[in-house]
Each structure stands twice: as structure tokens, then as C-alpha cells.
């Protein structure tokens, strides 16, 4: 899929990785939280854009590689914070229930 090109742009390491065309755009979630299905780009076009907006283009300097697209799918800080708060809430509920069964002042004792 990837053919290395010399030059600036594209990836963060200063190289552009371009396919011969038909680069796929993977599914993504936009800034509003709406899910968009993946789509194929035509021959000699590439998947371009950002983590939150994708489109097909012919400019290899705007290429969004599949590796970069997969990196966008990694947990965002908001997702990690949501998971952490859910775990803390779950532990608080379990601790409260266990304490109520062990404490003589509770009705569940």
C-alpha cells in the first residue's frame, strides 16, 4: 500500500507515504461525535483530511495514511477521562454496598 516519497508534508517524520491511488479512508468520528463509514478513493486519489474530516484528493502532500487514520482511533483524552470516572463510580458503589453489609448501623446488616 505505501510507497515512500521524499519531500516534506504528509507524515510527521518529514516524508510523504503515497499509494499509487485508491487509498482507503477508514471510518471516523467527526467533532460533533457523528460516525462516518469508511470509503474508497478512486485511482490516483488519496485519503486526505484530518482525524475529524476525511475526503479524497489528488495532492500527495495532504495524504492521510492508513497508519495515521488508525492513530486517530486511539483513545482520546475525553474517552480516557470517561472510562476513569466510570471505574471510580463503580468502585464507590461497590464499596458502599460492601460497607452497608458489614456495618451494624445499616439496615442491610
Torsion of CA 75, 76, 79, 83, to 10 degrees: 60
**CB count in 10 Å sphere of residue 10:** 22
The residue to which cell 467527526 is assigned: 30
Average pLDDT, the chain: 75
Tell if the pTM clears 0.75, that is, is over it: no
Residue 54 is predicted with a pLDDT of 92
Q: If you ran DSSP here, which 8-state letter would residue 109 be given?
A: -
The residue to which cell 477508514 is assigned: 26
- Beta bridge pairs of residue 91: none
Helix, strand, coil % in the chain, rounded to nearest 5: 35, 20, 45
Q: Tell me: the pLDDT tens digits for 10-52?
A: 334 333 444 445 568 988 888 887 888 999 988 888 899 988 8
Amino acid at each position: 500500500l505505501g510507497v515512500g516519497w521524499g519531500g516534506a508534508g504528509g507524515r510527521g517524520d518529514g516524508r510523504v507515504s503515497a499509494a499509487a491511488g485508491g487509498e482507503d479512508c477508514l471510518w471516523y468520528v467527526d467533532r460533533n461525535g457523528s460516525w462516518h463509514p469508511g470509503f474508497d478513493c478512486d485511482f490516483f486519489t488519496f485519503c486526505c483530511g484530518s482525524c475529524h474530516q476525511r475526503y479524497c484528493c489528488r495532492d500527495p502532500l495532504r495524504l492521510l495514511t492508513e497508519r495515521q487514520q488508525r492513530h486517530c482511533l486511539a483513545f482520546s483524552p475525553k474517552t480516557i477521562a470517561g472510562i476513569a470516572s466510570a471505574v471510580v463510580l463503580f468502585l464507590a458503589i461497590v464499596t458502599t454496598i460492601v460497607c452497608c453489609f458489614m456495618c451494624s448501623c445499616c439496615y442491610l446488616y
